Structures are given as structure tokens and as C-alpha cells.
Chains A and B, each alone.
Chain A
Amino acid sequence: MAVQDHVIVQGLHKVFTAGRGQREVQALDNVDLRVGAGQFFSVLGPSGCGKSTLLRIVGGLIDPTAGSVSIGNGAGPHDAQRAKEIGFVFQEPGLLAWRTVAENIEVALQVNRKANRPRQHSTTELLDLVGLTAFSKAYPHQLSGGMQQRVAIARALAFDPKILLMDEPFGALDMITRQAMRYELLRIWARAQKTVIFVTHSIQEAIILSDTVAVLSPRPGRLTGIVDIDLPRPRTEAMERSSEFLQTIDQLKQLLREETNHAANN
């Protein structure tokens, strides 16, 4: 498949300095990634492997110590941010308590207005997309955690970004809701047609969602393998019992285990 590269990450290093120049912690070590346009790309790794750091660098929220990120035609993360090409969904919804659901979605259009493009979807359509039409006038505290996270997804889609960056967006949800949200996200993704970079520590989640899974080792975050998922789309829950799914789980587990051993030996 001749897919154009949308996000290219090259030789990314990130070193955090804790305290006043005391201890240096290396979060990322020489990470290279290529994410194709329209691809659903997951970064899989244990807690503290620097995958959130990687996503924040791609989104322009923090700067790398070394290396480069190119988005689209060679633009950097900050250019993409200013052009509102990046929709970020975080571990927590981070909604504004004083705004209704609809107003929380629209806030994304009220800031940095000069970068707004003609709207692709009205707020009503976005609410329909995330299944919250009945709750447009509700306040965040009236919603469950899963519903709040869907508002956060709609907010990230409101300004029609080209890329969706998702940092363990379902991490704070219970298993039942989480399971449902995965398929909900796939349905939204199929309609919205975005490049998605999705960070998770759940192997099942990475497989069922993604076209490609990159595995990251902990401390420092190092790329240890890239696995293409060939399951047909649309994905269904039945596929979670297929032999291919189970084989991929083993393959990813193997990659994760090697790395943990590797890290332990260092």
C-alpha cells in the first residue's frame, strides 16, 4: 500500500532534569517512527516508558532534547499546533466545569481563531458522532467518565485536525466502558478519517484498534519492534478470539518481555 508518510519522527531523544541540575532521567532514546496518512498507529509500552513524552513532543507540548518531528510537508510540531492540525485527547477529559457539553466542544473553535478552517462538522453533528446528542446542555459533572471522555474526543475533532493524538484516553475508565469505547472510537475514526497516534499499555487495545503497533521499552524509551496488524476492518469483538489476534498478542508480549529483561540487566 503506497501510503504517504504523515508524521516522521527521527532520532528523538528526551532527557528530563529533575530538580536543580541534579539527576538526569532519559525518557526517550533514539526513537524513529513513520506514521502513514490516515493510519491508526499505536505506541505500546509499560508505564514510565516515555510513550506519553513521545506523544507530547509530537503534539508540540514539550520539546525534544535532540532529534526531529516532521508533520505533513516538513512542518514541525509547533507549526502544526499553530495551524490547529493536531487534536489532542488526554488521559483525563479536562473539560471546563462551567461550560455545557456543547460549549466545551466549541471552546476549541473560540481560541486561536485565525487558524480555524471552514467547519466540516457542526457541534450537533459532532455530538451525534460521539453519541451525546441528548446531553448537549448537560454540564460535565452530570456525565459519567466515559461520556466525558467522548466529549473530549468531540472537542479534539471540532476544528477538523488532520492528526489525532490520544494519550491512554481510556486509562481511567472501568473495563466494561473501556471495551465499549474502543469500538466507539473505531466507528468515529472510520467516519472522521484522521491519522491517529494512540498511546496505550494494553496489548489487546493496541491490536484491536491499530494498523501498526510500535513497542517501546522502559527507561529509557527505546523502540524495540514495529508490528503490522493485518486483521480486516471493520474490527469486531469476535476477532478478539481469532488465532491471528492471539498470535499477535504473543508476539507483542515477547517484544515487551525482551525489553523488560534487557532493562533489568542494565
Chain B
Amino acid sequence: MQQTTELVQTPAVVPSQRLRSYGRTLIEVVLPPLAFFIVLLALWEILVDVREIPAIILPKPSAIIRRLAEEPGYFFIENGLITFYEALAGFAVAAVTGIGSAALMARSRIIERTFFPLAIVIKATPIIVIAPLLVIWGGYGPAPKVIMAALLCYFPIMVNTIIGLRSVNPTSLEFFQSVAASDLEIFYRLRAPHSLPYVISAFKTSASLAVIGAVVAEWAGAGQGLGRVVFLMASYLDQEGVFAGIVVLAAMGILLTALVGWLERRLLHWHESMIVG
């Protein structure tokens, strides 16, 4: 068999190289930002000490950490988990309805013309202003928080999914048509996998929006949850408590983003955004 044309291929990763590459990842990727972060915290600590800034304005990092550790019965974690579940549930609702409605709208222009304007209205309204309404309707339980998180996440997921389903390579589409593939086959063999990077990208945006939605809805009224806790502590001028709450909320956001990142690496190893060097 003659090989007439060029044979250029990126080298595949050999398993034995993996361990070493993990070590390199640790040094090259994790270490620099971690060091920077630690330096930043140290500067903060020193600044508060030297300028004698009162804790009521800006507490020291060490005091915040102590506060987190001392709080009885994992108070912050417990309330944080409630907010986390609210955000996660809202995100899941938005993912299901966003992808589902996008699939319908991408398929039929009439469905799109009917429902898309409503989505625009949701998108154009600074939707967090309806949080008090949701609390009036839904009470102090988790339902208004889940709905608020879902409302914030819905639009980016729905729009990105539509774009992903529609923007398939015309040549790929023509090939499927040339072998008389059914619309359903074209959907799950071509459109759905092609839309994945778009969906994941929307998930990334939505992960933090979900936390924002849950926290804002808790401010409007809640029995528990970290948003509520931070709100109350701020009104008591308990800045250490506020910052402790922020630390847990930030950790939550990082965890959600990491979850989406893990999903991305699992599903999109073939995509150009995942191809390094």
C-alpha cells in the first residue's frame, strides 16, 4: 500500500507519560495561582494589622478562618449545603427545560416564533426583582430559590443549545441527507453531538448564575440557607461571619464550575477547545 500524501499526526499520549504529566500539571498549573493567592492573603493580613483597620470594616483572613472553624455544628457548611442544593436543582430544571425547549424550537420555526419572545422577556427583565413575588407565592421553603436559579440559567442554556443544534456543518448535513437519514437520525447523530460544546459553554455561565439566583431568593425571604445567613450577619455588622459565608459560597461556585469542567473533559475531548498545543 503506497502512502502518497503527507502523514502528519499529533503524538498520542502514552499512559506511562501520564504520571509525569500530572506532576507537571501540579507545578505549572496549580502552583502559580496558589502562590499568588497566598501572597494576596498575606498582604491583606499585614495591611489590616499595620493600618489597624477595625474588624467591623475589614476582618483579617486569619480571623475569618478561625470563625469558620469555631462555628458550632458546621453552621456555615450546613446552610451552605441548603443553598447548594437549591442552586443545583434550579440548574437542573433549567438544563432540562432549556435543552428540551431548544430542541423543539430548533426543529420548528413556528414553535420558535411562538415561544422565543417570552424567553427574550425573561432575559431582558432583571429577573431578580421578582424574588419578593416568588417568596409571596412560594413561601420560605426551597421552591422560590429553585425557580429563581432556574430562571437565571434558562436563557443562556436555551439560546446556546439552539445555536449548537442549528450551526452544523452544511457538508455533514448534506451527507446525512444523501443517504436518506431520517430527521431523528440527523438529530442524534449530528445535531445533538455538535451542540454539546455550546451546551457545556452555557453550563459554565449558568453554574455561577444558579448560585446567584439561590442567594438572591434567600435574601428576599428564607428560613435557612447561606444567603440568608450572610444577609442576617451583615445586618448585625458581623463582618467576620459575612466573609466566612462568602468563602463557603465561593467554594460552592468553584465546586460547581469544576463539576462542569469535569463534564467538559469527559464529553469534549475531541473539541478544538480541548486540544492543547
The interface of chain A, by Cβ under 8 A from chain B, is 59-61, 78, 81-82, 84, 86-88, 90-99, 107-108, 110-112, 115, 128, 131, 133-135, 138-139, 141-144, 146-147, 152, 155, 159, 165, 177, 180-181, 183-184
In the complex, chain B residues whose CB is within 8 Å of the CB of A92: 169, 171
Q: List 25 A-B contacts (CB under 8 A).
A: A59-B178, A60-B178, A61-B178, A81-B179, A86-B178, A86-B179, A90-B171, A91-B171, A92-B169, A94-B169, A95-B172, A96-B190, A112-B182, A115-B179, A128-B1, A131-B1, A133-B1, A141-B275, A142-B10, A144-B5, A144-B6, A146-B5, A147-B5, A165-B178, A184-B5
Roughly how many angstroms separate A184 CA and B1 CA in the complex, as a whole number?
A: 11
A138 and chain B: residue at smallest CB distance: B9
Q: A139-B270, A144-B8, A147-B5 are in contact. Are A96 and B178 (CB under 8 A)?
A: no
The reply to whether B185 and A112 contact each other, CB–CB distance below 8 Å, is yes
- Residues 162-187 of chain B, each 1 if its beta carbon lies under 8 Å from chain A, else 0: 00000001111111111111100110
Cβ of A111 and Cβ of B181 under 8 Å apart?
yes
Q: How many residues of B contact A (CB 8 A)?
A: 35
- Whether A96 contacts B174 by the Cβ 8 Å rule is no
Which of chain B's residues have a CB closer than 8 A to the CB of A180? 4-5
Chain B residues positioned under 8 Å from A152 (CB to CB): 175
Chain B residues with a Cβ under 8 A of chain A: 1-10, 169-182, 185-186, 189-190, 193-194, 196, 270-272, 275
| Bound complex: CA A180 to CA B4 (Å) | 6
Q: Nearest residue in A to B6 (C-beta to C-beta)?
A: A144
Contacts of B196 in A (CB 8 A): 98
A93 to B182, CA, bound (A): 21
**Known contacts A94-B175, A98-B196, A139-B270; 4 further A-B pairs (Cβ under 8 A):** A96-B172, A96-B190, A111-B181, A180-B5
CB distance from A137 to the nearest CB of B (A): 8
Please indicate the chain B residues that have their CB under 8 angstroms from the CB of A84 in the complex.
179-180
> Are A131 and B181 in touch, CB under 8 angstroms?
no
Q: Closest chain A residue to B1 by CB distance?
A: A131
Beta-carbon nearest neighbor of B272 in chain A: A141
- A90 x B179 contact (CB < 8 A): no
Contact across chains for A61 and B177 when beta carbons are under 8 A apart: yes
Contacts of A155 in B (CB 8 A): 175
Interface pair B9/A98, CB less than 8 Å apart = no
User: Which of A94, A138, A141, A152 gathers most chain B CB within 10 Å?
Assistant: A94
Complex Cα gap A128–B1 (Å): 8
A87-B178 Cα distance, complex, nearest whole Å? 7
Chain A residues whose CB sits within 8 angstroms of the CB of B193 once the complex forms: 96, 98
Least distance between B145 CB and chain A CB atoms (Å): 36
User: What A residues does B6 contact at CB under 8 A?
Assistant: 144, 146-147, 177
Task: Kindly name the residue among B7, B179, B190, B193 whose own CB sees the greatest number of chain A CB atoms within 10 A.
Answer: B179
CB-based closest 5 A-B pairs = A94-B171, A111-B181, A88-B178, A180-B4, A94-B172
Which single member of A88, A111, A139 contacts B189 (CB below 8 Å)? A111
Report the bound CA distance from A94 to B174 in whole Å. Answer: 9
| Docked pose: A96 CA to B175 CA in angstroms | 11
Least CB distance, A58 to chain B, in whole angstroms: 11
**CB closest chain-A residue, reference B8:** A144
**Which B residues are CB-close (under 8 A) to A110?**
185, 189
